[in-house]
Amino acid sequence: MHEFLISTAIVALAEMGDKTQLLALLLAARFRKPVPILIAILAATLINHGLSAVLGQWITTVLSPEVLIWVLSLGFIGMAAWMLIPDELDDETDSINKWQRFGVFGATFVLFFLAEIGDKTQIATVALAARYDSIFWVMAGTTVGMMLANAPAVFVGNKLADKLPISLIHKIGAAIFLIIGVSTLVQHYFF
């Protein structure tokens, strides 16, 4: 259960102000149909983060424990730095128009899935699955974290985004990633 809670908290914080959250805002403003948008975000996240968690577990089988500790520690520390760089969403109007023929669900699913590839939350899912040796709980936690961050964005839209202290949220997320990265090294070498 610890893996679930950590994964949920990290991804919910990492997603605040992230390009996929901005995409959720844009899709909500464009289509004005929150339920199919949220279902598509959930489906895209489950598949993307499920594959990412499997990748994280697979990495533990090909790297030695010593190398894995360093990769995970430096990865979490790198994620801490990345959290401090704000995301921007490129003009997605053309992309939305391109995929709109698949309806609200189809367009949202494809755009969200593609936007999540190589994103902070996807990389965090890989690292968390490798760190905690749990595909299911990490995937469940990161998916819940994504939904916690994106559901309000879809329902409330830009009104909520303007009132959230995104910079502070990013600093808190960065601190959590840094703590996990450093504690991974400390636990390995001192305990």
Say if CB 41 and CB 150 are below 8 A apart.
yes
Quickly list DSSP for 34-96: HHHHHHHHHHHHHHHHHHHHHHHHHHHHHS-HHHHHHHHHHHHHHHHHHHTS-------HHHH
pLDDT band at 164 (very low <50, low <70, confident <90, very high): low
Distances (CA, A) of 41 to 1, 51, 147: 24, 15, 8
CB atoms within 10 A of CB 107: 23
The region, left, alpha or beta by phi > 0 then psi within -120 to 50, assigned to residue 46 is alpha
More confident residue, 157 or 131: 131
Range of the domain at 160: 2-190
Question: Residue 90 — very low, low, confident or very high, per pLDDT cuts 50/70/90?
Answer: low
Q: Which residue, among 55, 33, 74, has the nearest Cα to 122 in the 3D structure? A: 55
Query: Looking at residue 133, what DSSP letter applies?
Result: T
Determine the pLDDT at residue 93: 57
Residues 6+ apart with CB under 8 A from 113: 44, 47, 48
Total domains in the fold of the chain: 1
Position 97 confidence tier, pLDDT thresholds 50, 70, 90: low
Model confidence, pTM: 0.73
Percent of the chain at pLDDT > 70 equals: 81
